[in-house]
Amino acid sequence: METKDTLVVMAEELGKAMQPLVSASSSPGALRDFLEELGWDLAAVPASINALKGPAELATRMGAENEGVAAGDVQQMITAIRAAFEALGNLSNAGDLAAAMKNELPGQLLEYLLVEYLLKNQPSFGQLLKVVGIIRLEQIPAQAGRVAYLRRTFAFADFGSLFSDPLVFFKNAFKWGQSDFRGEEWSAALMELIRSWGFNADMETISPNALAKLTENSINPANDHITALKTYFLKSDNNPADLSAGAGLYLLPETAADKPGFAIMPFLNGKLEETIVITDKLSLAIKAALDLSGGVGIIVRPGKDITAFAGLDSGTPGSISGTISMLFSANGARDPFILIGKRDASRLEIGVVTAEAGTRFHNQGKFEVFTEFGIQQGKIVVKADGADGFLAQLLPGDGINVNFDLAVGFSSTKGFYFGGSGGLEIQLPAHIQLGPIEINAAMIALKPKDGELPLELAATIKGDLGVLKATVENIGLKAIFTFPQDGKGNLGPVNLAMGFRPPNGVGLAVDAGVIKGGGYLFLDFDKGEYAGALELTFSEVISLKAIGIINTKMPDGSAGFSLLIIITAEFGTGLQLGFGFVLLGVGGLLGLNRTMNLQALAEGIRSGGINSVMFPSNIIENAPRIISDLRAFFPIEEGKFLIGPMAKLGWGTPALISVSIGIIIEIPGNIAIVGILKIALPTEEAALIQLQVNFIGAIEFDKSRMWFFATLYESRVLFMTIEGGMGLLIAWGNDSNFVVSIGGFHPAFNPPPLPFPSPDRLSFNIVNTPVAKIRVLGYFAVTSNTVQFGVKAELMFGFDACKIEGHIAFDALFQFSPFYFIIQLSASLSVKVFGIGLFSVSVRMSLEGPTPYRAKGTGTISILFFDFDVDFDETWGETRNTSLPPIEIMPLVREEFNKLANWKAQLPAGSHILVSLRKIDETEELVLHPIGTLQVSQRYVPLGLTINKVGSQKAADVKKLTVSEEPSSGLSKTADLRESFAMAQFQDMKNEEKLSRPSFQKELSGLELSGAGAQVRTGRAVRRVVRYELIIVDNNFRRFIRRFFSFFSSLLFTHFLKRNAAARSVLSANTRSKLNPYTDKVVAGQAAYAVASMANNKAYGPVTSFASEALAREYMNEQIAKDPNLKESLQVISQHELNPAA
């Protein structure tokens, strides 16, 4: 059969759409009656409406159903159709129509023609639109100036909500979810739709048993339906009971608990093969895990889970679970269906169309109803035949072919979805070459949002222009469809706005001999982030690299600006500096409104992410990873500024040892040094020893600490890999602490919070093959309480069927004053065959000493399933009392209190004394301001706590010390003072207590005193705004002076003003503080402790808060001393862990 040109077909169909108008124009009476159909009861037809007759007749005549349009007449036909639609539109300006008619009739006519055309001439599509509720037919009652009529509409206004609420059409058109659900209309439309698809569909009575079950609890039995819509996909005309398959739809009545719904009743009589051939192109596959005989009903009610019943016809229905689906497959693989175009010419064709509908179990054990339409072996063909010379040059000889598969579905649980994609987005691989341009892929995306339907069409394009190669990712167009409520968009009820879709990324590569390199720009307009990377090499001598990130939105979404850029220049073989040293590269880091995340940097040291900061390599390839690392290391923070010079030095030619080091200064904030040390001997290409140490050191002024962390990364000696890390922390101030660790900590040790990750064990993999492994691990650590040391060696020889394994390990805790050690040893050797232990010997022991030595442990020998244990506990050597003689503490404490250095005279808080003080030369006397405070604090022993010893000597004279003011001194205590004490020096602790309790604790150390009696107080500070009248006498006054750079200079000036020297001077700070006398800060209070019951964490005793852990523990020990039964039931916990009293 001859296939027609698409344009001709479209023109003919549009002409057909005008037919109702032509038929109505057959006589004046007919046109009057036609208008009455639309609700307008007129005595005579206005001339403006009569004028529609001519254009409508012309349009339909050319595409008359019997004659057809010749290809050469297409232009005339299009002109005629346009004239007809323009005449329709001109009705809105007609002078002989009433205002209401002018406003409504054009749109009403258009909708009438469109709806009628779709329903009558394209029923497969039109009835589908009616079933889903997009096309609506509503009876409108008579009202002022209008007679009753049937209104035909397209529900354009609901399109905006389609993807957020897929049932919106159904709800609005048929009142789904309401008592007056228009089920009859819906099932009637469904019947027409099924018939339009070529299947039989009719209303049939259902069995009394099924009717009884489906109408159970109906609130209005008299109105219950007695028929169901039944459609047969397959039926034997001579014996339906032997062979029939199809589905029924029954409208469920409202019950007291549920709104009206519907039941789907698939049926299958007789045994069928999996796939049934209906026509030579159409087949049906019924997949059912349910027994469909006896009547199956799938109940769908608004707002309720879908349920299923079997045995509807038998009178004893019961719930079931399972899946059923019917898949129709129209297979045009040999003879594809051509949708647009002609065979052997440019066209859109599809090979296989599938339509599947059914129910299946959702992953939460609920039913979901779904329907899915799919296209397979789809093809877009663009031929050069008939194209002009330029296009013919561009297009390949055999044209462009783009293959695609597509699936669109709707599910009661997922809503709309595209099959095979994560959302409504399709990527189509294209690989279309147009001269120097290659279109790699095309993207179509529909991303509904806020009632808009933005449709994006984009392509990824590659251009090859010899020395220059460019890639542009996803550049294209964006069409935004909106549906204005008043239905007046630029496309009638729809408003279309077109826009440019900027690319996601732009890449450039240059290879021009002398200059090689490239760059990549990453653009995210929605997030306001733009990142780029550039790498250029000049004659292999200088390599310039740059990477940067610009943000125009703050993390909270507000407008702002931040910049981070790293620029490095590396010099091939380097610049000689003398003594064998060479300068391999220089670089720098600059950050505006960026801060430094030291924890992330420390983690980057361990993971190797620091390579993204220190002279990164292969920038273009690794751009996404580098940019991601930089985001993590240097997050956005307003008001912070980063500057970081970097250098890369080497020793030897070629450089055998290189160190990249950078100093990153945060203003205001901290200082960090990061670096990478690399050693490759004898040469980098054939290194026998390869060591890379990544390190970071930081001085954090705000936290009063400095630390250093280093880790071995991708290091080896010959074939032995080496791993491990080290860390050093020195903290002063309120949380003073000291930690150094190489290779980590003792397994039982709970390290304090560290600013760097716990260092990895120092390990040497001496042998590491599938059949043999020898590895040695070790660590060494010193804290304020402990010294820890440990080594472990592991070996394995053999393979899965048979292997020998062994290890030897020890962990030690040392104390130097007095000298004491405890070492835990373990060793084992085992032979395993097929994973089962054949023979093993192991020893676990602890050795402590030296006076006396004691060895305690267990040896075990295992042979198959039998174990032989040997315990031992041996003590030998002299028992020496190595403890030092007791010490008298009181004199020493008294001496501390006598030291002038421990006394301080403080000025009053606020310092707004309004009196200038004479500078006093330093004297031995302490000068106290009349309203100031006097502080005395010592660090020798903690006060208010039981003291067992001081250092390694027992306390001879006192157990507990307290201090108070002398009543007659005229001073009274205003506050307690606290200092950090290492409690292990003052109280007896077991080793495990030493490991688990805090190293330093804030304990009472002194007093703060002030004059007794009422303190001087001032009134509340208030602000007053003082303005002065300003008169300028200026003969040369110019009102407006254009300053071109004032905007930029003022912006930058204001920014830099914040943290410059002038702003940070004492004078400025003083002036600022005077204007703002109160520092409103959120201050975290000191941690408090409590004694609580182990059973329920409820506070024990009347005192629920102790200033330190030691105080709480002392109280607990006092309670236990009074009642030993409490020993296993009390514990010291942080106060925030308390269980509030009931």
Partner 1 sequence: MDYSFAPGGTPFDGLLRAFYTRRGNTTLIAATAARNTLREFISHIDGSATVTKPIQDMLLGTHANAQGYLAATMFDNQIGRTGYEVMEDAISGRHTSDSTTPDTTLTSIAIPDTLIGYTTGPVANNFHIKGCNVGRATAFLQKMKEALGDHVNLTAPLHFFGLYQHTAYGIWEFLAYEFKLLSKTAFANRAALVTAFDNLGLTFYNGDPVPVADIETWVPRTITRAATTPLNLPLGISIGSRTTIGTERQFRYPGPEDYTFTINFPNASQVPSTPADRMTALENGLDSFKYRQSDTVGGFDPAHPYPEYERWGYSSKQDFLDEHDWRFEKSGSRLICRGRFHAYTLLVPITDRDPANLGNIIFNFHPNAGSPHAAITTGLVETDTNFFATV
Q: Binders of partner 1 among 678-707, rule CB under 8 A?
A: none
**Do the beta carbons of residue 540 and residue 514 sit within 8 Å?**
no
Question: Does 273 engage in binding with partner 1 (CB under 8 A)?
Answer: yes
The residue within the footprint of partner 1, chosen from 1, 256, 559, 1083 (CB under 8 A), is: 1
| Site for partner 1, residues 427 to 446, rule: CB under 8 A | none
Residue 12 CB, shortest distance to partner 1, in Å, is 8
Q: How far is CA 494 from CA 513, 518, 1037, in A?
A: 55, 45, 58
Q: What mask, x for binding partner 1 by CB under 8 A, covers residues 764 to 783?
A: --------------------
| In the complex, least distance from residue 238 CB atom to partner 1, rounded to whole angstroms | 5
Residue 136 beta carbon to partner 1: minimum distance, rounded to whole angstroms: 15
DSSP 704-728: TEEEEEEEEEEEEETTEEEEEEEEE
β-pair type (559-578, 581-594): antiparallel
Beta strands in 901-1032 (DSSP E): 903-906, 933-937, 949-950, 953-954, 971-981, 1001-1011
Q: Would you say 163 or 181 has its CB closer to partner 1?
A: 181
Rg (alpha carbons) of the chain, rounded to whole number: 44
Contact segment (CB under 8 A) with partner 1 among 154-162, 275-283, 325-333, 488-496 equals 275-283
C-alpha distances in Å from residue 340, one per residue of 3, 348, 387, 777: 10, 5, 18, 72
* Binders of partner 1 in range 498-537 (CB under 8 A): none
CB of 307 to partner 1, least distance (A): 23
Give the 3-state secondary structure of 1053-1089. Answer: HHHHHCCCHHHHCHHHHHHHHHHCCCCCCCCCCCCCE
Which is closer to partner 1, CB of 80 or CB of 664?
80
Contact 944, 958 (CB under 8 A): no
Does 277 sit near partner 1 (CB under 8 A)?
yes
CA–CA gap between residue 611 and residue 589 (Å, rounded): 14
Q: How far is the CB of 187 from partner 1 (least distance, A)?
A: 8
Contact flag: residue 215 with partner 1 (CB under 8 A): yes
Assess contact for 526 and 502: CB atoms under 8 A.
no
Name which of 206 and 300 has its Cβ closer to partner 1: 206
Shortest CA distance to 842 belongs to which of 856, 857, 825, 859?
Answer: 859
* CB of residue 241 to partner 1, shortest distance in Å: 9
Enumerate the H helices of 278-320 as residue ranges: none
Q: Of the two residues 243 and 554, which places its CB atom closer to partner 1 in the complex?
A: 243
37 secondary structure, DSSP code: H
Contact code string over 910-929 relative to partner 1, x by CB under 8 A: --------------------
For tokens 């002009």, name the residue.
Answer: 388
Binding partner 1 (rule: CB under 8 A), the pick from 89, 177, 270, 757 is 270
What minimum distance in Å lies between the beta carbon of 462 and partner 1?
44
Joined tokens for residue 620 = 């273009």
Q: What is the distance between the alpha carbons of residues 979 and 997, in angstroms, rounded to a whole number?
A: 17
CA pair distance 958, 892, nearest whole angstrom: 12
d(CA 950, CA 956): 10
Residue (43 or 465) nearer to partner 1, CB: 43
| Inter-residue contact 229 to 187 (CB < 8 Å) | yes
Nearest partner of 705 among 662, 747, 635, 753, judged by Cα: 753
Stretch 741-760 residues interacting with partner 1 (CB under 8 A)? none
Q: Whats the size of the chain, residue-wise?
A: 1142
Question: Whole-number minimum distance, CB 265 to partner 1, in Å?
Answer: 15
892 sits near partner 1 (criterion: CB under 8 A): no
Minimum distance of partner 1 from residue 48's CB (angstroms): 20
Give the nearer residue to partner 1 in terms of CB position, either 208 or 423. Answer: 208
**Looking at beta carbons only, is 147 or 827 nearer to partner 1?**
147
Question: Which positions from 609 through 648 interact with partner 1, judged by CB under 8 A?
Answer: none
CA 146 to chain centre: 57
Cβ closest to partner 1, residue 179 vs residue 275: 275
- Least separation in angstroms between residue 339's CB and partner 1 is 15
Would you say 623 and 533 are in contact if contact means Cβ atoms under 8 Å apart?
yes
Q: Report the 10 Å Cβ neighbour count for 1095.
A: 8
Among 145, 208, 499, 850, binds partner 1 (CB under 8 A): 208
Interface pattern 105-124 for partner 1 (x via CB under 8 A): -----------x---xx-x-
Pick out residues in 224-253 that bind partner 1 (CB under 8 A). Answer: 224-229, 234-240, 242-243
Residues of span 68-87 touching partner 1 by CB under 8 A: 68
In angstroms, rounded to a whole number, what is the distance separating the alpha carbons of residues 804 and 794? 11
Interface residues for partner 1 in 1081-1120 (CB under 8 A)? none
Contacts to partner 1 from residues 9-68, by CB under 8 A: 12, 19-20, 23-24, 26-27, 29-30, 32-34, 36-37, 41, 43, 64-68
**HSE, side-chain direction, 13 A CA sphere, residue 987:** 25
**Number of residues forming the site for partner 1 (CB under 8 A):** 72
**Distance in angstroms (rounded) separating the CA atoms of residues 21 and 662:** 82
The span of 271-279, 342-350, 371-379, 915-923 binding partner 1 (CB under 8 A) equals 271-279
Contact flag: residue 222 with partner 1 (CB under 8 A)? yes
Residue 314 or 433: the one with the smaller Cβ distance to partner 1 is: 314
197 closest CA partner among 268, 292, 284, 288: 284
Q: Interface with partner 1 by CB under 8 A: which range of 219-227, 369-377, 946-954, 1000-1008?
A: 219-227
Q: How far is the CB of 42 from partner 1 (least distance, A)?
A: 9
396 sits near partner 1 (criterion: CB under 8 A): no
Cβ neighbours of residue 531 under 8 Å, at least 6 residues apart? 521, 522, 547, 548, 549, 550, 623, 627
* Member of 110, 157, 276, 406 binding partner 1 (CB under 8 A): 276
Give whichever of 59 and 893 is closer to partner 1, judged by the CB atom: 59
Task: Report the alpha-carbon distance of residue 115 to residue 897 in Å, rounded.
Answer: 101
Among residues 232 and 404, whose Cβ is nearest to partner 1?
A: 232
- Least separation in angstroms between CB 29 and partner 1: 4
Instruction: Name which of 184 and 871 has its Cβ closer to partner 1.
Output: 184
What residues numbered 141-200 form the site for partner 1, per CB under 8 A? 142, 147-150, 184, 187-188, 191, 195-196, 198
Distance CA 1141, CA 1099 (A): 8
Of residues 78 and 243, the one with the C-beta less far from partner 1: 243
Nearer to partner 1, 71 or 863 (CB): 71
Cβ of residue 475: shortest distance to partner 1, in angstroms? 41
